[in-house]
Structure 1
Amino acid sequence: MKKPFDASYNSESSNASLYSQNNNNNNNNNNNPTSNVEYQYATSSKWQDFKDSFKRVELEELDPTLTEAEKIAIITARSPLKRQLKNRHLQMIAIGGAIGTGLFVGSGSSLSAGGPAGLLIGYGISSTFILCMVCALGELAVEFPVSGGFTTYATRFVDESFGFAANLNYAIQWLVTLPLEIVAASITVQFWGTPKKYRDAFVALFYLVIISINFFGVKGYGEAEFVFSIIKVACIIGFIICGIALVCGARGSYIGGKYWHSPYSAFVGDTPGARFKGTMSVFVSAAFAFSGSELVGLAAAETANPRKAMPKASKQVFWRLTLFYMASLTLIGLLVSHTDSRLIGSSSVDAAASPFVIALVSHGIKGLPSVVNVVICIAVLSVGNSSVYACSRTLAALDEQGFAPNWMHLGYIDRAGRPLVGIIITSVFGLLSFISATDQQVNVFNWLLAISGLSSLFSWAGISLCHIRFRRALTAQGRSTDELTFTSPLGVIGSYYSLIMIFLVFIAEFWVAAWPTGYKEMSAGAIVENFFEIYLSFPCVLTCYLGHKIYKKNWKLWIRAADMDIDTGRRETDFDQLREDIAQERAEFKAMPFYKRFYAFWC
């Protein structure tokens, strides 16, 4: 007779306590810890254990006298997600999480629209405010490793309506990204002359692998991302080395800045206005390519030790942006002409190649183009894997914050820590990827790319705003950053910079969308189509925000800083001990040699 199987759920958020805040004296002394909930069930076989793992974790009922905001804070803090991500998982998610088809394939449309200079300007400016955003997110995620990540912060630190819009926007972003990635894969396999019926088989294969990985839970996601990211990083480094050799004349002729000068030019367009619009159009593609940079914050809720892992992971973004993106895109601009008909977004309806592949093929490199195409397919699996992970967790957080109808059961999290309903919904939506069987797959790719790109900008602006509001709450409640385990190296100034830059990008994108290059020769229908292809997500987010305001009759702009809950969900609640630990760590940091301090600060 087998021993009873103990499938216990111990909420590791039990250290997080609800602090009843006294706004007059700013004391936090009434602690009501969220309780541990244990489940035991006997099993007679591994098959039974497997079936039982899909049963929902039932949590203890909350005190009905708590306010709605207090209930949301506790529910998201004690979410039964499994904390199985290790430091190595988070590091590779940070380094390789945003290296996908946005870089390998989408950068082709950016080069075609903006030219090599416009490509670097668009990606370069984007990388600066993304770095600020990720550092701010790291600070928040270390302190509050709660379910839903930054979408939960939006509800707690800004406003419930803003939180609803942020949650729904982020969920839609990843719902769109899954079929988008698989559509991109169906485009790239055309490089091998794959017959149409077999391209459909590739779509089915990618889809099944992505969905299967996520049914292994967060540990399966982490291990898959660890392997995928290593492969992607190795490919980028190899391309950079090969690209430098080609530019310097390794194939017999020196290339240098050939494609930056006449008859090609560094920008696209004959007038300054056309060149500016071409450059601004790069931001949509750049936003899509960088989407996923915020995943480390979402993964903090399922990380064993976010205090140690998150600071390093957030700072790794700087090196990823500098080395992998800017170096590789510089070489792309030197090796590929923006007039090349094979680029997605060019005048050719058969455009189907990655600029990385074009760069190698155009300069006579044999074998490596196929290797890069294989890596692109792996990148599809990676980003598709992240899509299911991110969307399912966001949908669960949507339910935990009271934004979803009860009948949808979006908050269903099973005993293996999987948000099961969220995974199923994301998987069903992913079936849209089979639209690649149509002749309009490139148009579909461009539409999905635009929707996902602007969605990322909204998400990043929300993260920066949450950081600003959190710092404001600390000041208003008579507290300081001394109690924080990790503070953003760029401070609150970085968040202001990020927020302002994203706002300016939205203004410029509106101009590009409403008055595109050559709009005087375009029909009214073409202008409208161009506008919504670029700016569709803006009215969607605005509708969600205003609709929630009207439905809930919530007319406040944001939660007062003095009323914010800045304690529930923290893993570290002994602030006196925490201050001592931080003081000791800072003393040890100051005692280091300069070069070690410099490395530790940025890496």
Structure 2
Amino acid sequence: MNSSSEVKTEKSIADMSSSSISNIKSGVTTCNSNESRTSTSGGIWNNFVDSFKPAIPEETLTSMNIDDNRELTDIERINYNSANSNLKRKLKTRHLQMISIGSSIGSGLLVGSGGALKTGGPAGVMIGWIVMASCVYATMQGLGELAVTFPISGGFNVYASRFLEPAIGFAIGWNYFMQFFVLLPLELVACSITIKYWNKDINSDVFVIIFWLAIVFITLLGVKGYGESEFIFSLIKVVAILGFIILGIVLICGGGPNHHFVGGKIWRNPGPFAYGFKGVATTFVTAAFSYGGTEMIGLTAAETANPRKTLPKAIKQVFWRIALFYIISLTLVCTLVAYNDDRLIGASSVDATASPFVIAIVNGGIKGLPSVMNAVILVAVLSVGNASVYATSRSLNSLSEQGMAPKWTGYVDRAGRPLAAIAITNIFGLFALIASSNQQVNAFNWLLALSGLSSVFTWLAINCSHIRFRRAMKVQGRSLNELPYVAQSGVWGSYYGAILNVLVLIAQFWIALFPIDTPPNANDFFLSYLGFPVLLASWLFYKLWKGDWTLFIRAKDIDVDAGRANVDLDLLQQEMAEERAKIAEKSFIIRCYRFWC
């Protein structure tokens, strides 16, 4: 690894070859622990106040003269800034593992699945969630390979910029920002509506303010506060889902208070499908929405203490989360709740009383537990609101670092908080005060439409970024042995994920153009598909702004070194060989466990 003195003896970046620039940047990344040098002798209050001051760059960064002779190109600036972020590496293994397991258990699964059940039927729900689960698994494997190799600020939107081309990174980054930017006030409204389950006379705005203050407090604690809060939230959700799985099996077998044996009656009457193939097609986007947030692991890479050790474990947890918390729980829900139940409403609803999980418990004749499940839904939507601030603030900070957003929005303080981005997100969260308004549904529907299909676009960008990265490695004669983590599904998994995501976009276009039980109309079409023209407009705006009409970066020109987690490849390969040798000595069961976990 390059020391500070060695860096100072190098020529300016302007005179260096692309490979030497990459190596120096990589060295800076690994030695930069992002621990700002703040005084500890001024007392608790003074230290707290000082923590809001601008982050102090590391000496290795300030010694580099990047303005001599020429300016960096856009892609060089993106690679350099994203590799040298002032974010702090404070997320631990337990944080990442619990975030990976419970981060996306929210209203999409607990409430939105009811709308999918209504239009797709039980078989449609299972097909939609299983197919999208395979897509998510393959996509997260590709993301894991990129994130472990390049644990940089911004994650997947930076990968799109550097492995595809900057305009795509610009469009994906802003679309992802909008998705969670709008989601914060939506989740706050969902919290206030969930409270009404116990008392309908309460003014919704009162609890909007209470939950908003709670999220503001958590976000001001920094990344460690986010990690600890998500650890607790996710633990509650995981325990609740496990409890529901046990309860669901008991109810199906007739062990509930009413002793009604359910079996497979609902699958026979009213039947497995609600609206045939079109109904099944509607479940894919709802499933994608429920899996949304899985990719957030990529955003944590720049704030993870030991990316090479912790990220692979977190990525592998995706398989178990999909299998256990989604597929099994939804199988039970589809067996306990009929698709023609009048209590089921639209997939975009935030009303917890429409949750098929709650309806299943009510149908079982169990008193008291519906309130417990609603409390879990409250925790889930509060968790998603908290995660929304994390996602939007890190996305906006990354866009600023790449020169794709105003520079001031990338302000990072000495505690490693992207303070300006956090403030912008939290202030917009007060939009949730329209919770008591009669126009809240229309307002949120159109806001959500702006970033509709964002998860699918993001996953598609991850798939394509991984494919182009592998292509660049091959063209440049680089070996996969250099990578600290190799995707279990390989590059073909990314091809599979990309094809499936494109098919989902086509299916959604069909449903948007010819909605179920409604004649074709512009309102429904743009509510379902406005996200695509917005994404296209973002890409075109960047092209016009920069005047660069390059459609993609050639494989031979892609930088596969900048931001690398490990500079000494020989040492890395030696460590990995030792780890493989130790695992090979273990029993078959242990080897299987280490492969999947």
Please say which of residues 174-183 and 460-469 is displaced more in the overlay: 174-183
Correspondent of 1:528 among 522, 528, 532: 522
Correspondent of 1:566 among 551, 555, 560: 560
Describe the shift of the 1:81–1:30 C-alpha distance in structure 2 as closer, same or farther (beyond 3 A): closer
> Which residue matches 2:508?
509
Cα distance between partner residues in 1 of 2:552 and 2:348: 47
What is the TM-score with the length of structure 1 in the denominator? 0.90
Describe the shift of the 1:549–1:449 C-alpha distance in structure 2 as closer, same or farther (beyond 3 A): closer
> Which residue matches 1:183?
189
C-alpha distance after superposition, 1:456-481 (max 9, x if no partner): 11111111111111111111111011
Cα distance between partner residues in 1 of 2:342 and 2:475: 57
Cα distance between partner residues in 2 of 1:347 and 1:31: 48
Correspondent of 1:591 among 570, 585, 594: 585
- The residue identity in structure 1 corresponding to 2:177 is A
Question: 2:14 touches 2:66 (CA, 8 Å); kept in 1?
Answer: no
Describe the shift of the 1:350–1:232 C-alpha distance in structure 2 as closer, same or farther (beyond 3 A): closer
User: Given the alignment of the two structures, is residue 126 of structure 1 paired with residue 125 of structure 2, yes or no?
Assistant: no
> Which residue matches 2:322?
321
Please state how far the C-alpha of 1:43 moved relative to its aligned partner.
6.1
> Which residue matches 1:547?
541
> Which residue matches 1:338?
339
Cα distance between partner residues in 2 of 1:362 and 1:29: 61
> Which residue matches 2:48?
50
- The residue identity in structure 1 corresponding to 2:229 is A
C-alpha distance after superposition, 1:165-208 (max 9, x if no partner): 111011111101111212222333332242141x3222221111
- The residue identity in structure 2 corresponding to 1:416 is A
> Which residue matches 1:430?
429
> Which residue matches 1:229?
234
1:126-165 to 2 correspondence within 5 Å? Answer: 126-165=132-171
1:146-295 to 2 correspondence within 5 Å? Answer: 146-197=152-203, 199-251=204-256, 252-262=259-269, 264-269=270-275, 275-295=276-296
C-alpha distance after superposition, 1:298-329 (max 9, x if no partner): 11110100111111100100110110011111
Question: 1:177 touches 1:452 (CA, 8 Å); kept in 2?
Answer: no
Cα distance between partner residues in 1 of 2:65 and 2:307: 26
Please state how far the C-alpha of 1:361 moved relative to its aligned partner.
1.1
Cα distance between partner residues in 1 of 2:353 and 2:317: 32
SS of 1:311's partner is: helix
Cα distance between partner residues in 2 of 1:21 and 1:107: 54
Question: 1:164 touches 1:548 (CA, 8 Å); kept in 2?
Answer: yes
Please state how far the C-alpha of 1:266 moved relative to its aligned partner.
1.6
Question: 2:112 touches 2:346 (CA, 8 Å); kept in 1?
Answer: no
> Which residue matches 2:302?
301
- How high is the sequence identity, in percent, across the aligned residues? 52
What's the C-alpha RMSD, in Å, of the aligned pairs? 2.6
Describe the shift of the 1:418–1:156 C-alpha distance in structure 2 as closer, same or farther (beyond 3 A): same
> Which residue matches 2:489?
490
SS of 1:404's partner is: coil
Describe the shift of the 1:492–1:203 C-alpha distance in structure 2 as closer, same or farther (beyond 3 A): same
1:467-486 to 2 correspondence within 5 Å? Answer: 467-486=466-485
Cα distance between partner residues in 2 of 1:27 and 1:349: 52
Describe the shift of the 1:338–1:190 C-alpha distance in structure 2 as closer, same or farther (beyond 3 A): farther
Structure 1, unaligned runs of 5 or more: 1-9, 270-274
Cα distance between partner residues in 2 of 1:148 and 1:122: 30
Question: 2:352 touches 2:374 (CA, 8 Å); kept in 1?
Answer: no
- The residue identity in structure 2 corresponding to 1:459 is T
> Which residue matches 2:113?
107
- The residue identity in structure 2 corresponding to 1:503 is V
Describe the shift of the 1:447–1:469 C-alpha distance in structure 2 as closer, same or farther (beyond 3 A): same
- The residue identity in structure 2 corresponding to 1:383 is V
Cα distance between partner residues in 2 of 1:276 and 1:411: 46
Please state how far the C-alpha of 1:73 moved relative to its aligned partner.
1.3
> Which residue matches 1:380?
381
Question: 1:188 touches 1:354 (CA, 8 Å); kept in 2?
Answer: no
Structure 2, unaligned runs of 5 or more: none
C-alpha distance after superposition, 1:238-281 (max 9, x if no partner): 0010011101111312111222223x222113xxxxx2222111
What is the TM-score with the length of structure 2 in the denominator? 0.91
Cα distance between partner residues in 2 of 1:371 and 1:364: 14
Question: 1:167 touches 1:394 (CA, 8 Å); kept in 2?
Answer: yes
> Which residue matches 1:4?
none
Cα distance between partner residues in 2 of 1:223 and 1:27: 39
Question: 1:55 touches 1:415 (CA, 8 Å); kept in 2?
Answer: yes
Cα distance between partner residues in 2 of 1:150 and 1:51: 33
SS of 1:488's partner is: coil
Please state how far the C-alpha of 1:450 moved relative to its aligned partner.
5.5
Cα distance between partner residues in 2 of 1:51 and 1:347: 42
Question: 2:344 touches 2:356 (CA, 8 Å); kept in 1?
Answer: yes
User: Given the alignment of the two structures, is residue 411 of structure 1 paired with residue 383 of structure 2, yes or no?
Assistant: no
Describe the shift of the 1:67–1:435 C-alpha distance in structure 2 as closer, same or farther (beyond 3 A): same
Question: 1:141 touches 1:300 (CA, 8 Å); kept in 2?
Answer: yes
Describe the shift of the 1:30–1:289 C-alpha distance in structure 2 as closer, same or farther (beyond 3 A): closer
> Which residue matches 1:365?
366
Question: 1:186 touches 1:203 (CA, 8 Å); kept in 2?
Answer: yes
Cα distance between partner residues in 2 of 1:344 and 1:284: 16
SS of 1:395's partner is: helix
Question: 2:211 touches 2:382 (CA, 8 Å); kept in 1?
Answer: yes
- The residue identity in structure 1 corresponding to 2:537 is T
Please state how far the C-alpha of 1:89 moved relative to its aligned partner.
0.2
Cα distance between partner residues in 2 of 1:256 and 1:541: 46
Question: 1:345 touches 1:351 (CA, 8 Å); kept in 2?
Answer: no
Describe the shift of the 1:327–1:445 C-alpha distance in structure 2 as closer, same or farther (beyond 3 A): farther
